[in-house]
C-alpha cells in the first residue's frame, strides 16, 4: 500500500461511504480493512486490533498506541461476532467525537439486496440518505447488526462503523437510523 | 551546481537571471505530496470523518502551522490538501471571485504541490474551496465544497464562553440564541443578520454556516454534495453531509428571508436570480453585479443559462429565485412578514 496515494484514495472512499451511508466504495488495496486502518491509525489515537499482521505493521512503524477494546478510538473487528461493540467508547455529550470507530471485516457488501438473498439486510435512513437505502451484508449477523444499532442508539454519543470486504468499503455513521430487517 | 540556494551559488552568479536559470528543479524537493506530511493528513482526515458522522458538530483537530497566517484559510487549505489527489480538479473562490490574491495563491499551492488540475468552472471541479460564498451553479453528488470558517460557534454571538457554549450544544440548549433573534425582531421588525445565519442541522446541532450571505443558506438543505467547514485558527472541522436537513432558525410569524434585489439586475450579465453586490465604478457611480464571477461570465455568453444547466434540466432548486413581483420594503415595521434587508444592512456585524 502506497503511504501517500493509496491512503488518499482510501480516505476518499471513506468520505464517500461515510457521507452516503449504505453506498459501497472501492478500496485501493486488499484487504480493505487493512487499508482503512493504515489510512487512519497512528500514535495520536488508540487502537485495538486482534490481527497480527496489522499489529506488527503498525508497531514496526511506531504508529501503534494500543488500548483495551473498550477504551480504544479505533477498533478493528476482523470477526464481527467477537467484537463487544456495545461496550466500546461512545464519547460524551460534550465531546461525542471521542466515540470509537469500529472497522468490521465482513464477507460481501451488496447495495439494494433482494429480500430473498441470504444476507443480513439493513435499512438505513438519516443524514446522507435521501429516503431510505438498503444494504445487504454477508458475514455480519443480525445479532451483530442489532448490537451496532444499540451502540449507536444514544446519538450524538455512539460508535461509527466501517464495513469492509476484500475490496469494498461501506459505512454506518452514528447519525444513521439503522433497522435490521 | 548542487547547492541551489547556497552562499556559493549566490556569489558565483552574475545576475538574478543567472540564479534563476540555475534552479533546475521546481523548488519542491523535500516536500511531501500535497504539501502536508502524512501525519498531519491523518489528523485532518480522522476529524473530517468524525465531522461527517456528526452533522453540525464542531470536531476539534490539531491545526498545523501553514505558510500563511491563521485566519486566511488555513483550515480550508489543510482540509483541501488532505482530500486532493492527482485525479482531482480544484477550484478556489474568495467571496465569489477566482482571481483574488488569496484564492489565486491557494490554487497555485495546490496545483504545485498536489499536481491537481485547476479550474474556475464550478461544474468542472471535484473539490471547491470557498470563502463566504456557495457557487450559484448547482453542485453534484461527486463534488465536495470546503468552506473556510472564521468563527465556528454560532452561540458566540450570545455568549463569549466556549465552555458554556459547548455545554449548550451538548444539551441542544439554544434558548439564548432564540432570545437574541427575538431581540433582533423587536429592534428591527425582522431577523436582520447579514451573514453567519444560525441553522439547525439534522434537528440536533446549531451550526454557523460561515459568513455566507443568507442567499446561500437554503443551498445547504438537502443538497447533493458534501459540505465541509474548516477553521484553522479555531482548530475545528464540521460538516453537512448530502441530503441532510438544514433549517435556518426563524419564528412562525417572522420567517427566514434571503436578500432580494428586485430593482437591480447584474450590470454585466443582466441576471436577476443571482446574489448581487454593489460595486462602485470608476466615475463614482454604483452598479449591482453578480458576486459569482465565473457564473456571471457564463451568463454573459448565454443569458438564458439555468443554474442547473449541467444536470440535464432536472429542475433541482438551489438557492432562492428572486421574485420581482414581491414588493421590496426597506423597513419591516408592518404586521406582515416582509421587508428583507439588503446585503449590507444587517443588524449584526
Q: Which three cell numbers stand for residue B16?
A: 538574478
Residues in A touching B32 (Cβ below 8 Å) = 4
Q: Which of A103, A110, A79 is nearest to A160 (CA)?
A: A103
Secondary element (H or E) of residue A145: helix A142-151
As a whole number of angstroms, the distance between CA B339 and CA B165 comes to: 32
Q: Which residue from A3, A96, A101 is facing B38, i.e. has the nearest CB?
A: A3
ipTM of the complex in this document = 0.98
Q: Which of A122, A22, A137 is nearest to B241 (CA)?
A: A22
CB B131 within 8 A of CB B75: no
Residues in B touching A155 (Cβ below 8 Å) = 204
Exposed / middle / buried, residue A2 (Cβ in 10 Å: 0-12, 13-18, 19+): exposed
Min Cα distance B96 → chain A (Å) is 26
Q: Which residues lie below 8 Å from residue A51, measured CB to CB, with a gap of 6+?
A: A33, A34, A76, A78
Q: Which residues lie below 8 Å from residue B342, measured CB to CB, with a gap of 6+?
A: B259, B261, B330
- Res B340: pLDDT: 40
CB B83 within 8 A of CB B127: yes
- Res B8: pLDDT: 63
Task: At A120, give phi and psi (nearest 5°).
Answer: -80, 120
Q: Which residue from A8, A42, A97 is facing B57, i.e. has the nearest CB?
A: A97
As a whole number of angstroms, the distance between CA A130 and CA A137 comes to: 20
Residue A110 has pLDDT above 80, yes or no: yes
Residues in A touching B55 (Cβ below 8 Å) = 127, 175
- Res B301: pLDDT: 95
Kindly report the CATH class assigned to B33-250: alpha beta
Q: Residue A6 — very low, low, confident or very high, per pLDDT cuts 50/70/90?
A: very high
Instruction: Give the active site residues of B.
Output: 56, 266, 269, 290, 296
Strand order in the sheet with A25-26: A25-26, A168-172, A160-164, A101-105, A74-77, A47-48
Exposed / middle / buried, residue B252 (Cβ in 10 Å: 0-12, 13-18, 19+): exposed
A·B CB contacts under 8 A: 110
What is the extent of the structural domain holding A175?
A: 5-180
Q: Residue A22 — very low, low, confident or very high, per pLDDT cuts 50/70/90?
A: very high
Specify the pairing of strand B236-240 against strand B59-60. Answer: antiparallel
As a whole number of angstroms, the distance between CA A160 and CA A151 comes to: 9
Q: Which residue of A has its CA nearest to B59?
A: A97
Q: Which residues lie below 8 Å from residue B163, measured CB to CB, with a gap of 6+?
A: none
Q: Which of A137, A161, A139 is nearest to A150 (CA)?
A: A161
- Res B21: pLDDT: 77
Averaged pLDDT, groups of 10, chain B, 349 residues long: 56 78 76 95 98 98 93 95 97 94 94 95 97 95 97 96 97 96 91 91 97 94 96 97 96 87 86 90 90 95 90 72 45 36 37
CB B127 within 8 A of CB B90: yes
- Res A148: pLDDT: 98
Secondary element (H or E) of residue B227: strand B226-231
- What is the tally of structural domains in chain A? 1
Exposed / middle / buried, residue B30 (Cβ in 10 Å: 0-12, 13-18, 19+): exposed
Cα angle: A100, vertex A141, A173; to 5 degrees:
30
Strand-pairing partners, residue A125, are: A177
As a whole number of angstroms, the distance between CA A152 and CA A154 comes to: 6
As a whole number of angstroms, the distance between CA A27 and CA B141 comes to: 19
A7 or B2, which is more confident: A7
Q: Which residue from A15, A128, A155 is facing B48, i.e. has the nearest CB?
A: A15
C-alpha to C-alpha distances, B339 to B289, B326, B335, nearest whole angstrom: 22, 10, 11
Task: At B280, give phi and psi (nearest 5°).
Answer: -90, 130
- DSSP code string of B70-126: TTSSHHHHHHHHHH--TT-EEEEEETTBS-SHHHHHHHHHHHHHH--EE-S-TTT-S
As a whole number of angstroms, the distance between CA A142 and CA A81 comes to: 10
Residues in A touching B239 (Cβ below 8 Å) = 19
Q: Which of B204, B220, B22, B167 is nearest to A174 (CA)?
A: B204
First and final C-alpha spacing in chain B: 55
Secondary element (H or E) of residue B254: none
Q: Which residue of B has its CA nearest to A98?
A: B50
A7 with B55: Cβ contact below 8 A:
no
- Res B193: pLDDT: 87
CB B97 within 8 A of CB B122: no
As a whole number of angstroms, the distance between CA A164 and CA A177 comes to: 20
As a whole number of angstroms, the distance between CA A98 and CA A87 comes to: 14
A175 with B202: Cβ contact below 8 A:
yes
- Res B313: pLDDT: 67
Q: Which three cell numbers stand for residue A167?
A: 475490496
As a whole number of angstroms, the distance between CA B345 and CA A19 comes to: 36
As a whole number of angstroms, the distance between CA B141 and CA A15 comes to: 12
CB B146 within 8 A of CB B228: yes
Q: Which residues lie below 8 Å from residue B284, measured CB to CB, with a gap of 6+?
A: none
Report the greatest alpha carbon distance in chain A: 47
As a whole number of angstroms, the distance between CA B1 and CA B33 comes to: 25
- Res B5: pLDDT: 52
What residue segments make up the domains of chain B, in order of their start?
1-30, 33-250
CB proximity A90 to B under 8 Å = no
- Res B212: pLDDT: 95
- The b/e string for B292-310 (b: 16+ C-beta within 10 A; e otherwise) is bbbbbebbeeeeebebbeb
Amino acid at each position: 500500500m502506497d503511504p501517500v496515494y493509496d491512503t488518499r484514495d482510501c480516505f476518499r472512499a471513506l468520505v464517500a461511504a461515510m457521507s452516503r451511508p449504505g453506498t459501497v466504495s472501492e478500496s485501493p488495496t486488499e484487504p480493505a480493512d487493512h487499508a482503512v486502518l493504515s489510512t487512519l491509525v497512528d500514535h495520536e489515537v488508540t487502537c485495538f486490533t486482534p490481527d497480527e499482521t496489522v499489529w506488527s505493521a503498525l508497531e514496526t512503524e511506531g504508529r501503534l498506541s494500543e488500548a483495551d477494546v473498550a477504551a480504544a478510538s479505533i477498533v478493528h473487528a476482523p470477526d464481527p461476532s467477537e467484537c463487544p461493540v456495545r461496550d466500546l467508547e461512545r464519547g460524551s455529550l460534550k465531546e461525542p467525537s471521542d466515540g470509537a470507530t469500529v472497522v468490521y471485516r465482513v464477507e460481501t457488501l451488496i447495495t439494494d439486496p433482494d429480500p430473498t438473498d441470504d444476507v443480513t439486510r439493513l435499512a438505513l435512513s438519516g443524514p446522507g440518505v435521501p429516503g431510505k437505502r438498503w444494504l445487504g451484508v454477508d458475514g455480519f449477523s443480525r445479532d451483530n447488526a442489532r448490537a451496532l444499532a444499540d451502540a449507536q442508539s444514544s446519538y450524538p454519543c455512539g460508535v461509527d462503523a466501517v464495513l469492509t470486504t476484500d475490496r469494498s468499503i461501506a459505512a454506518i455513521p452514528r447519525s444513521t437510523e439503522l433497522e435490521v430487517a | 551546481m548542487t547547492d541551489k540556494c547556497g552562499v556559493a551559488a549566490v556569489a558565483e552568479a552574475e545576475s538574478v537571471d543567472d540564479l534563476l536559470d540555475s534552479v533546475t528543479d521546481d523548488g519542491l524537493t523535500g516536500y511531501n505530496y500535497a504539501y502536508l506530511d502524512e501525519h498531519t493528513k491523518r489528523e485532518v482526515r480522522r476529524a473530517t470523518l468524525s465531522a461527517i458522522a456528526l452533522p453540525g458538530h464542531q470536531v476539534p483537530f490539531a491545526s498545523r502551522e501553514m505558510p500563511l497566517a491563521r485566519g486566511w484559510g488555513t483550515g480550508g487549505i489543510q482540509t483541501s490538501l488532505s482530500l486532493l489527489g492527482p485525479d482531482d480538479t480544484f477550484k478556489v473562490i474568495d467571496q465569489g471571485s477566482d482571481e483574488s490574491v488569496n484564492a489565486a495563491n491557494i490554487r497555485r499551492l495546490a496545483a504545485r504541490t498536489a499536481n491537481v488540475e485547476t479550474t474556475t468552472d464550478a461544474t468542472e471541479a471535484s473539490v471547491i474551496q470557498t470563502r463566504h460564498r456557495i457557487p450559484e451553479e448547482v453542485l453534484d453528488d461527486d463534488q465536495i465544497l470546503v468552506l473556510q470558517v472564521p468563527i465556528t460557534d454560532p452561540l458566540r454571538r450570545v455568549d463569549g464562553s466556549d465552555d458554556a457554549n459547548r455545554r449548550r450544544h451538548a444539551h441542544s440548549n439554544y434558548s439564548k440564541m432564540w432570545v437574541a433573534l427575538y431581540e433582533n425582531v423587536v429592534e428591527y421588525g425582522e431577523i436582520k443578520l447579514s451573514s453567519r445565519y444560525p441553522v439547525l442541522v439534522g434537528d440536533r446541532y446549531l451550526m454557523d454556516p460561515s459568513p455566507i450571505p443568507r442567499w446561500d443558506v437554503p443551498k445547504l438543505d438537502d443538497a447533493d454534495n458534501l459540505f465541509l467547514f474548516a477553521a484553522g485558527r479555531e482548530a475545528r472541522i464540521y460538516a453537512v453531509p448530502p441530503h441532510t436537513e438544514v433549517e435556518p432558525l426563524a419564528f412562525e410569524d417572522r420567517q427566514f428571508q434571503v436578500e432580494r434585489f428586485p430593482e437591480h439586475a447584474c450590470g454585466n450579465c443582466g441576471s436577476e436570480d443571482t446574489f448581487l453586490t454593489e460595486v462602485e465604478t470608476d466615475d463614482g457611480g454604483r452598479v449591482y453585479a453578480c458576486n459569482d464571477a465565473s457564473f456571471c461570465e457564463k451568463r454573459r455568453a448565454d443569458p438564458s443559462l439555468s443554474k442547473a444547466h449541467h444536470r440535464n434540466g432536472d429542475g433541482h432548486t438551489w438557492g432562492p429565485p428572486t421574485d420581482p413581483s414581491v414588493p421590496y420594503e426597506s423597513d419591516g415595521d408592518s404586521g406582515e412578514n416582509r421587508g428583507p434587508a439588503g446585503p449590507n444592512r444587517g443588524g449584526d456585524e
